[in-house]
Amino acid sequence: MPEIDGTTPPYLRIVAELRRRIASGELGPGDRVPSTRQLVREWGVAMATASRALTALRQEGLLRAVPGVGMVVAGSEPAPPGRGGRVEVRRGPAHGVTRDQMVRTAIGIADSEGLAGLSMRRIATDLDVPTMSLYRQVRGKEHLLLLMADAAFAAHRVPGTLPPGWRAQLELLCRLQWSIYCRHPWLAQVISLTRPLMAPHAVAHTECALRALAGCGLDPHTQLHLVAALANHVRGAAVTLQQGAEAEQDTGLTDDEWMVAQADVFGRLLAAGEFPYLARLSRSAIDLTVDSLFEFGLQRLLDGIAALVRP
C-alpha cells in the first residue's frame, strides 16, 4: 500500500481513512459509512471525489450498497485475494455493456445515493468500462434519466383490468405512482409537469387517468388539469421522501429520532406563547407523516373531482 502524504490524491486519502476505521473496528459490518455529502463537508472535496472514494472501497469488497440506506460496511468475510491485497478486477470489452445493464446500474446508484451520486464516470466505474464507451448507449445524462424513469414505471405497469368507476381507477393509479416513488425517491426530481418526460410507460399513466374521466361530462381543459393536479400531488409528497433519505444519511437520525432530538428546542419555542394554536396541536395525539399527507391530500382531491363530475 503506498504511503499517504500531502501529495496523495484526495480520494485515496479518504479511502485510506475509511479503510483504517473498518480495520480498527470503528466501523463494523453493517455500519453505515459517511455519505458522499458528509465526505464533501468533512474533507472539502467535490462530490465526484467523494463518490470515487466510496466506489473504490466498494470494488475492494469493503462496502456494499443498500437501497434506501446508502453504503454500509460489508460482512466480515475477506475480500478475494489479489496482488497487494487488492481485488483483481478484469476489464471487460466496452461493447459488452448493454443499455439495459447501464440503466439498471444507474438506478441502483440513484436508489442508494440519490442523483447527486450519479454520474457517467460512476456508472462506468461500477461496470468497469471506459466512461466514453457509455455514450454508445445513451446521448447524455438527460437521455439516461429518461430511460431510468421509463424503466421505473415499466416495472410497475398499469394493470390491464381496472376497477369500475372513475374514482377507484384514479385512486389505483395514484397509489401505484406512490409505490414507484417510494421505491425510487430520486424519481420525484426527474418528473416534471411543465416539461414532461416522453417516457412511454409514464405517459401510459396519463392516458389511463384521462380515460377514467372520459365519461364524466368534463371538458378537455378540466380533465387535463385534474389529471395533472393528482400527479403533482403524488410527486410533491414524494419530494419529501428523497429529502428525508438524504437527511437520514447525513445525520444518522430517522425523522422520529430527529423530532425527539429537537423536542427541547421546540418546547422552548412554543413556551414563549407566540404560537398558541400550534402549541395546542402539539399537545394532541397527531401523527403527521409523509404517508398521512399523501393519503389525506389524495382523498380531498378525489372529493373535489366528485363535485365536478356530472351524474
pLDDT, tens digit (0-9, with 9 covering 90-100), for 124-135: 888 888 888 888
Q: Do 226 and 106 belong to one domain? A: no
pLDDT score of 56: 84
Answer whether residue 191 is part of any domain.
yes
pLDDT score of 76: 47
Residue 216 belongs to a domain with what CATH number? Answer: 1.10.357.10
Question: What average pLDDT does this structure show over 17-31?
Answer: 88
Q: Do 161 and 134 belong to one domain? A: no
pLDDT score of 251: 64
**Helix, strand, coil percent content, the chain, rounded in steps of 5:** 65, 5, 35
Tens-place pLDDT, residues 160-187: 888 999 999 999 999 999 999 999 999 9
- How many folded domains does the chain comprise? 2
Q: Do 108 and 17 belong to one domain? A: yes
pLDDT score of 170: 96
Q: Do 130 and 222 belong to one domain? A: no
Residue type, 136: R
Answer whether residue 248 is part of any domain.
yes
Question: What average pLDDT does this structure show over 29-33?
Answer: 86
With a cut of 50, say whether residue 78 has pLDDT above it: no
Domain that holds residue 170: 157-308
Q: Do 195 and 240 belong to one domain? A: yes
Most confident of 78-92, 123-137, 260-274: 123-137
Element (H, E) at 298: helix 290-308
With a cut of 90, say whether residue 145 has pLDDT above it: yes
Residue type, 283: R
Answer whether residue 270 is part of any domain.
yes
Question: What average pLDDT does this structure show over 226-230?
Answer: 94
Residue entry with cell 463494523 = 28
* d(C-alpha 100, C-alpha 294), whole Å: 32
Q: Are 241 and 188 in contact (CB under 8 A)?
A: yes
Residue 100 belongs to a domain with what CATH number? Answer: 1.10.10.10
Question: What average pLDDT does this structure show over 270-289?
Answer: 76
Q: How far is CA 102 from CA 60, 157, 188, in A?
A: 21, 21, 21
Answer whether residue 285 is part of any domain.
yes
Q: Do 134 and 178 belong to one domain? A: no
Q: Do 161 and 300 belong to one domain? A: yes
With a cut of 90, say whether residue 146 has pLDDT above it: yes
Answer whether residue 91 is part of any domain.
no
With a cut of 70, say whether residue 286 has pLDDT above it: no
Q: Do 272 and 166 belong to one domain? A: yes
Answer whether residue 109 is part of any domain.
yes
More confident residue, 155 or 65: 155
Q: Do 164 and 266 belong to one domain? A: yes
Mean pLDDT of the chain: 82
Answer whether residue 206 is part of any domain.
yes
Q: Do 252 and 118 belong to one domain? A: no
With a cut of 60, say whether residue 288 has pLDDT above it: yes
Answer whether residue 17 is part of any domain.
yes
Q: Is 56 left (phi over 0), alpha (psi -120 to 50) or beta?
A: alpha
Q: How far is CA 282 from CA 214, 259, 262, 286, in A?
A: 44, 12, 13, 8
Q: Do 298 and 162 belong to one domain? A: yes
* d(C-alpha 167, C-alpha 302), whole Å: 7
Please give the share of the chain, as a percent, with pLDDT higher than 70.
Answer: 84
For Cα atoms 44, 253, 186, give the angle at the middle one, nearest 5 degrees: 70
Give the predicted TM-score (pTM) of the model: 0.67
Q: Do 14 and 69 belong to one domain? A: yes
With a cut of 60, say whether residue 90 has pLDDT above it: no
